[in-house]
Amino acid sequence: MPNKRGNILINLDWITIVLYLALVFLGWLNIYSAVYDENHSSIFDFTQRYGKQLVWISAAIFLIFIVLIIDSKFYSAFAYPFYSVGITLLILVLFIGVEVNTSKSWFEIGSFRMQPVEFTKITICLALAQLLSSISFSWEKPKSVLTLIALLGLPVLLIFIQNDTGSALVFFSFVFVLYREGFNKVLFITSFAIIALFILALVTNLEVLVITVLIASVLGYLLTSSRNMNSKIIFYSFLLYASISLVLLNYTDMFLGKEIILILINVGVVALQMFIMFFVNRNKVLMLFAILLISVSGFIFSVDYLFYNALQTHQQNRINELLGKNTDPLGVGYNVNQSKIAIGSGGFTGKGFLQGTQTKYNFVPEQSTDFIFCTIGEEWGFIGTSIVLFLFAFLIVRIILLAERQRSKFSRIYGYGVASILFFHVAVNIGMTIGLAPVIGIPLPFFSYGGSSLWAFTILLFIFIKLDSDRLQIFR
């Protein structure tokens, strides 16, 4: 009787492997359809993108065998060395890389290009799993938290320097891994509140938003504190400041065109009063709302600065287009507009394989890479897109279920990392094509054309499949 613990083929999760093969095959067919040329109709024509993708797929199959024959303990033992290699590649590409679409994030060897950030996702996922699973790591130790911040922050900084904002944002998906492994729930919720506030700061008038924060802070203190002299003083003082402000705005020219300065003075005075009363009465609630008022107001204004100074003009335009601040269907909104037309024209059942007019006549830019999903929507319709979304959802849920059954903490954390990265890529890429997310240039896993992306996602997934196959032999 064969030893089930030692037989890799028996212990492999074939459901996940079948899902992977199905997605890769569908991706290949849609690349063929997206760039179909009647003069090169053979799907095995290696001068065309679909022929080259077949080469990348064949190489990916070879990489799968390499990943599976390596002992699973190798991945945890060499997690940090892999991380160092990934960081080294991110540094090297800044000096010897080539610039593509304003991002200096590619190595070029002849006609072959390789984007190191795709493989860095694997190395960071391994290093994060190794750090969080180590006995010495504790959320209560400042050293552990600082190490975690450095481990995630360094690659993000290097990728931002490459001007590849989309890839840098992918690493924020690890927040789900951190939450699963004990990250403070208050901080987790706060991080999403910050994201919401960031969006509000972009779409809302700054003066209105700061006034709202000021009023919310005062009301929050009044509702959470007992009815004492402190709360009455704060309340009536706030009414006094507001009344004076209205008089200055309506009956003088002192702050004409500079309303925000008057609002900031109000914020400063209210916060200062809260601090003074805290030191007099030692009311911790006052200190909390004073800090909240100052920090949130400061964050709101920093968003405006970062938006116009940290992001490139084309990125600003795309975000403004997404948020409805700018409407430019022939300019920055062209890609998304054409993509939505293509997907909408597919209807319920689609136009049929190779019958997509928007795709066939190149109305949608990057239709075989970042906007590959519009080809699915146009040719396969609602039914086809639903099947693809189901396969992705099934794969991600399957990975999470496999992660939860791991005996090894390292394997579980790595599994959650794989699921988080896949989820972020799928959600943002599809969101881009239907106008629900800014166009930040990240590929759809297993579908978008390119060797770097396919190989990286393949290695990322099959390392976890290998770890899962050895779960009965791993106990740490």
CB neighbours of 30 closer than 8 A, spacing ≥ 6? 372, 375, 376, 379, 447
Q: What does the pLDDT read at residue 2?
A: 46
From CA 391, how far away is CA 234, in angstroms rounded?
56
Q: What does the pLDDT read at residue 250?
A: 66
Domain identity same for 294 and 428: no
Can you give the residue range of the structural domain that contains 230? 204-311
CB count within 10 Å of CB 312 equals: 12
pLDDT band with cut points at 50, 70 and 90 for residue 130: very high
Poorest-pLDDT segment among 21-25, 141-145, 345-349: 345-349
120: Cα within 13 Å, side-chain hemisphere: 28
Question: Is the pLDDT score of 325 beyond 80?
Answer: no
Which is nearest to 217 in space by CA: 300, 303, 302, 295?
295
Q: What does the pLDDT read at residue 215?
A: 77
**Which segment, 190-194, 215-219, 257-261, 446-450, is predicted with the most confidence on average?**
446-450
Q: Do residues 159 and 168 touch, judged by C-beta distance below 8 A?
A: yes
Domain identity same for 324 and 367: yes
Domain identity same for 182 and 222: no
Q: What does the pLDDT read at residue 1?
A: 40
- Bridge partners of 98? 106
> In this prediction, what percent of the chain has a pLDDT beyond 70?
81
Q: How many domains does the chain have?
A: 2
From CA 217, how far away is CA 289, in angstroms rounded?
6
Written as one string, the DSSP assignment of 166-225 is HHHHHGGGGHHHHHHTT--HHHHHHHHHHHHHHHHHHHS-HHHHHHHHHHHHHHHHHHHS
- Structure confidence by residue, pLDDT tens digits, 51-105: 889 999 999 999 999 999 998 889 999 999 999 999 999 999 888 888 776 677 7
Question: Is the pLDDT score of 193 beyond 80?
Answer: no
From CA 326, how far away is CA 306, in angstroms rounded?
19
Domain identity same for 60 and 90: yes
pLDDT band with cut points at 50, 70 and 90 for residue 161: confident
- Structure confidence by residue, pLDDT tens digits, 135-150: 888 888 888 889 998 9
Domain identity same for 29 and 174: yes
The residue from 261, 282, 311 where one domain ends is 311
Q: State the average pLDDT over residues 177-206.
A: 73
Q: Which two tokens stand for residue 455?
A: 């190989």
Written as one string, the DSSP assignment of 411-464 is HHHHHHHHHHHHHHHHHHHHHHHTTSS-----PPTTTSS-HHHHHHHHHHHHHH
Q: What does the pLDDT read at residue 65?
A: 93
Q: State the average pLDDT over residues 374-403.
A: 92
Domain identity same for 296 and 443: no
Question: Is the pLDDT score of 206 beyond 70?
Answer: no
Q: What does the pLDDT read at residue 121?
A: 93
Q: Is residue 286 part of a domain?
A: yes
Q: Do residues 237 and 246 touch, judged by C-beta distance below 8 A?
A: no
Q: Is residue 289 part of a domain?
A: yes
Domain identity same for 290 and 375: no
pLDDT band with cut points at 50, 70 and 90 for residue 41: confident
The residue from 255, 290, 311 where one domain ends is 311
Mean pLDDT for the chain?
Answer: 80
From CA 336, how far away is CA 332, in angstroms rounded?
8
pLDDT band with cut points at 50, 70 and 90 for residue 334: low
The better pLDDT of the pair 380, 185 is held by 380
Q: What does the pLDDT read at residue 365?
A: 65
Q: State the average pLDDT over residues 417-438.
A: 88
Domain identity same for 293 and 320: no
Q: Is residue 452 part of a domain?
A: yes
From CA 78, how far away is CA 73, in angstroms rounded?
9
Q: Is residue 3 part of a domain?
A: no
Q: What does the pLDDT read at residue 475?
A: 47
DSSP letter assigned to residue 38: G
Residue that has been written with the tokens 């740490």 in this structure = 476
Q: Is residue 1 part of a domain?
A: no
The better pLDDT of the pair 358, 290 is held by 290
What sign for the dihedral angle of Cα 416, 417, 420, 422?
A: negative
The residue from 311, 346, 372 where one domain ends is 311
- Bridge partners of 106? 98
Domain identity same for 462 and 352: yes
Question: Is the pLDDT score of 403 beyond 90?
Answer: yes
Domain identity same for 64 and 153: yes
Q: Is residue 407 part of a domain?
A: yes
Which string of b and e fits 87-118 if b means at least 16 CB within 10 Å?
Answer: bebbeebeeebeeeeebbbbbeeeeebbbbbb
Which is nearest to 417 in space by CA: 17, 119, 127, 167?
127
Q: Is residue 108 part of a domain?
A: yes
Which is nearest to 58 in space by CA: 465, 396, 460, 454?
454
From CA 443, how far away is CA 22, in angstroms rounded?
17
Domain identity same for 171 and 93: yes
Question: Is the pLDDT score of 443 beyond 60?
Answer: yes
Domain identity same for 94 and 167: yes
Q: Is residue 252 part of a domain?
A: yes
Q: What does the pLDDT read at residue 441?
A: 76
